[in-house]
Structure 1
Amino acid sequence: MAVKFTTSYIEDALAVFRQYKLLGERAMQQVSDEDLFASLDAESNSIAIIVKHITGNMRSRWTDFLTTDGEKPNRNRDSEFVDPPATREGLMRDWEDGWACVFGAIEPLTNADMGRTVTIRGEAHSVMQAINRQLAHYPMHVGQMVLLAKHYAGERWKTLSEARNRSVEFNRKVAAGEASQR
């Protein structure tokens, strides 16, 4: 995915969030419904559980972002690790709702808002710190989703980035001005 040059923190943060949202979606598209809900072992989370967890986090962190603590009193984090939605459709609805909270909170911000104070679990954060906290959290979990999806898809897996053993050819094309934007 091409990166757009920007000096706007908000624009860049939104682009990174959108990139990881798409990466998660592209990974989930490559697995069966059964595999979305499968766990490698009793201590592992399924893709569906990971989605339930991060969307619970998204609703808590980004609802009333500037005015209430990012850890809402009605959030039950432990419940995010059991009983995910029963269908792919329900899971994807939660996924979209969670991301809508993220984008709905960040899109209206300006770079001037970065120094404002918000709280997460009673701890003060600048808006920028709060965004960075989630820019570290969600990609980590999307990476877990990608790893699981790749495992379950096996030989059917279609890479989500530059294919193996293609970097040298791609770099040659970039140097020659022949590489197309992906």
Structure 2
Amino acid sequence: MALEFTTSYVKDSLAIFRQYKKLAEAAMAQLSDEQLLATIDQESNSVAIIVKHMAGNMRSRWTDFLTTDGEKPDRDRDSEFERPPATRAALMALWEEGWDRVFTALGPLTDADLGRTITIRGEAHSVMQAINRQVAHSSYHAGQIVFLAKHLKSTDWKCLSVPRGQSAEYHQRVLRGEASQR
């Protein structure tokens, strides 16, 4: 995805969220249904569990974002790490629902809203701090999804960025206008 120059924090944040969503989706698309549920050891989470947790977090943080606490009283965080959705379709529906809440909450905001106060777990945050917190959370877990997918696919992994050993060639293609900068 090519970088779009902007001086809007909200617009840039939305682009970053879309970038990490797309990255995680590209990794998940390479996995079989069984691999979505696989763990690498007894202490690790599967991709499906990470997605379930991310969706629960997004639902809690972004539902009624400006008017209610970002930790909803009905959220059962511990259950997010148990019993993943049984099918890829159910998993992806949960994923899309979570991201829809992010984009629905952020879409109407302007940079003038960044200094407004919201709460998360009873603690005051500026809108900008809440966005930063979610960007960090989303990128952290998107990285876990990519790591797990790459591990599970092993030599069948299809690189999601510049393939190893091809940086110089890619740079030349960018300079010639043949490739978008990432």
TM-score (normalizing by structure 1): 0.96
Superposition map of 1:59-70 within 5 A: 59-70=59-70
For structure 2, the 5+ residue unaligned runs are none
Q: Which residue of structure 1 aligns with residue 75 of structure 2? A: 75
Superposition map of 1:142-181 within 5 A: 142-175=142-175, 177-181=176-180
Distance 1:64 1:46 in 2: 29
**CA deviation after TM superposition for structure 1 residue 170, in Å:** 2.1
Superposition map of 1:33-182 within 5 A: 33-175=33-175, 177-181=176-180
Distance 2:48 2:170 in 1: 35
**CA deviation after TM superposition for structure 1 residue 19, in Å:** 0.5
Distance 2:33 2:121 in 1: 35
Q: 1:107 to 1:149 in 2, by over 3 A?
A: same
**CA deviation after TM superposition for structure 1 residue 174, in Å:** 3.5
Q: CA RMSD in A?
A: 1.1
Contact 2:174 2:180 in 1 (8 A): no
SS at match of 1:45: coil
For structure 1, the 5+ residue unaligned runs are none
**CA deviation after TM superposition for structure 1 residue 13, in Å:** 0.3
One-letter code of the match for 1:100?
D
Distance 2:152 2:35 in 1: 6
TM-score (normalizing by structure 2): 0.96
One-letter code of the match for 1:53?
H
Seq. identity, %:
64
**CA deviation after TM superposition for structure 1 residue 179, in Å:** 3.4
**CA deviation after TM superposition for structure 1 residue 166, in Å:** 1.1
